[in-house]
Structure 1
């Protein structure tokens, strides 16, 4: 399976969850339901995976925690906030570079329509 297929499955799962449960839940609830939906679709999902950061000669074992890593191909950052800021997109791009992944999805569940809460970020993906 390729990144674009996985992306479609992630977006479809987000749509199902948002339509069924609505906006405004805690991010932890969105994370748990996304993990369940994606696993139900046969995808491997890692949650709160610690990602090391290496800067010059220093390695920090825990640079950040990835909300979801799907099939070791897509990084999903979940939000439940009024408005996504430009820094959130830049942060996801940095996280993609640090993990070596090429596809990231920023999903903000605190919107009226989930399509307005989806931001796709790529790192060298065509």
Structure 2
């Protein structure tokens, strides 16, 4: 069964993806993750999107807080964005985003890899 996003959320993810491509096309490959993260934050804000970085989310277990994860970027309090600089995106990267979605309660995540000769990405649903 294919899960689809509502129209507004789909449009928001498309805007984020467009911003990520602009960052990659401008900077190219070879930088560390922190550079791409700062550039993407700038690009998202320049496009009028509410983008926050290092947003903390508590991980609960049977009513107890057992940890905190920090989202690379959260856009419009609806989309978590995770950046990687790797040879390729792998299942552990996607599982990480799924866990972030479960902890945050956000409806969708975007996983970007700036490490290859072209930008790759994946939409991730909980």
Describe the superposition over 1:26-54 as per-residue Cα deviations: whole angstroms up to 9, x where unpaired.
11010000000000111111101111111
1:102-113 paired onto structure 2 within 5 Å: 102-113=107-118
Matched, 1:72 2:60: no
3-state secondary structure, aligned to 1:54 = strand
3-state secondary structure, aligned to 2:96 = helix
Q: 1:122: Cα distance to partner?
A: 1.4
Counterparts of 1:91 and 1:35, CA distance in 2 = 21
Counterparts of 2:58 and 2:79, CA distance in 1 = 17
Gaps of 5+ in 1: none
1:67-106 paired onto structure 2 within 5 Å: 67-106=72-111
Query: Which residue, 27, 36, 45 being the options, matches 1:39?
Result: 45
**Segments ≥4 residues shifted beyond 6 Å:** none
Counterparts of 2:83 and 2:77, CA distance in 1 = 17
In the superposition, the TM-score normalised over structure 2's length comes to 0.90
Answer 1 or 2: higher relative contact order, Cα 8 Å, separation at least 6: 1
In the superposition, the TM-score normalised over structure 1's length comes to 0.90
RMSD, matched Cα: 1.3
Gaps of 5+ in 2: 1-6
